[in-house]
Structure 1
Amino acid sequence: MTPGSTLEFECLDSGSGHFSPDSTVDDIATLDFSKVNPVNGPIYVEGAKPGDALKVEILSFKPSGFGWTANIPGFGLLADQFKDPALTLWNYDATSLEPAAFGRHGRVPLKPFAGTIGLAPAEAGLHSVVPPRRMGGNLDIRDLAAGTTLYLPVEVEGALFSIGDTHAAQGDGEVCGTAIESQMNVAVKLDVVKDANLAMPRFTTPGPVTRHLDADGYEVTTGIGSDLMEGARAALSGMIDLLCATRGLSPEDAYMLCSVCGDLRISEIVDQPTGWSRSTSRASYSREKAQ
Structure 2
Amino acid sequence: MSPTSQYASVHVRRDHAHLKWSKNIEPVLTVSPGETVTFDAVDSSNGQLGKTSETSIIPSVDFSLVNPVFGPVYVRDAQPGDVLKVEVLDLETADWGWSAIIPGFGLLADEFTDPALNIWSLDKEKGYTLFKDNICVPMRPFLGCMGVAPASDDELSTVPPTVGGGNMDCRELSVGSVVYLPVQATGALFSCGDGHAAQGHGEVCGSAIETPLKATLRFEVCKNQPWVTSPQYQIPPGAQPQVIPDRGQYATMGIDSDLLEATKKALRNLIQWLVATKGLNRNEAYILASVVADLHIAEAVNMPNYEVAMSIPLGIFA
TM-score > 0.5, shorter chain as reference? yes
Measured on the aligned residues, the alpha-carbon RMSD in Å equals 1.4
Indicate the residue corresponding to 1:90 in structure 2. Answer: 120
Distance 1:178 1:59 in 2: 24
- Quote the sequence identity (%): 43
Aligned with 2:235 (options 205, 227, 231): 205
Structure 1 SS opposite 2:286: helix
Indicate the residue corresponding to 1:189 in structure 2. Answer: 218
Aligned with 2:270 (options 239, 257, 264): 239
Q: Which amino acid aligns with 1:169?
A: A
Contact 1:220 1:279 in 2 (8 A): yes
1:113-262 equivalences under 5 Å are 113-197=142-226, 198-212=228-242, 215-262=246-293
Distance 1:33 1:52 in 2: 34
Quote the offset at 1:73 in angstroms.
Answer: 0.5
Structure 2 SS opposite 1:163: strand
Distance 1:4 1:171 in 2: 32
Structure 2 SS opposite 1:195: coil
Contact 1:8 1:185 in 2 (8 A): yes
Quote the offset at 1:233 in angstroms.
Answer: 0.6
Q: Which amino acid aligns with 1:68?
A: W
Distance 2:316 2:47 in 1: 29
Distance 2:317 2:171 in 1: 24
| Structure 2, unpaired ranges of 5+ | 1-30
Is 1:103 the counterpart of 2:132? The answer is yes
Aligned with 1:81 (options 92, 111, 116): 111
Aligned with 1:21 (options 41, 48, 51): 51
Contact 2:85 2:220 in 1 (8 A): yes
Deviation per CA, 1:34-88, whole angstroms, max 9, x where unpaired?
2100111111111100110001000001111110000001111111110110101
Indicate the residue corresponding to 1:271 in structure 2. Answer: 302
Distance 2:167 2:83 in 1: 18
Is 1:5 the counterpart of 2:35? The answer is yes
Indicate the residue corresponding to 2:14 in structure 1. Answer: none
Aligned with 2:97 (options 67, 70, 73): 67
| Structure 1, unpaired ranges of 5+ | none
Contact 1:55 1:191 in 2 (8 A): yes
Question: Which structure carries more relative contact order (alpha carbon 8 Å, separation 6+)?
Answer: 1
Quote the offset at 1:104 in angstroms.
Answer: 3.1
Aligned with 2:66 (options 36, 41, 55): 36
**Using a 3 Å threshold, how does the CA distance of structure 1 residues 285 and 194 change in structure 2: closer, same or farther?**
closer
Instruction: Give the count of matched residue pairs.
Output: 286
Contact 2:256 2:307 in 1 (8 A): yes
Structure 2 SS opposite 1:4: coil
**Using a 3 Å threshold, how does the CA distance of structure 1 residues 214 and 107 change in structure 2: closer, same or farther?**
closer
Structure 2 SS opposite 1:244: helix
Contact 2:246 2:314 in 1 (8 A): no
Structure 1 SS opposite 2:156: coil
Distance 2:100 2:315 in 1: 21
Q: Which amino acid aligns with 1:122?
A: A
Quote the offset at 1:236 in angstroms.
Answer: 0.5
Quote the offset at 1:8 in angstroms.
Answer: 0.5
**Using a 3 Å threshold, how does the CA distance of structure 1 residues 52 and 71 change in structure 2: closer, same or farther?**
same
Quote the offset at 1:17 in angstroms.
Answer: 1.7
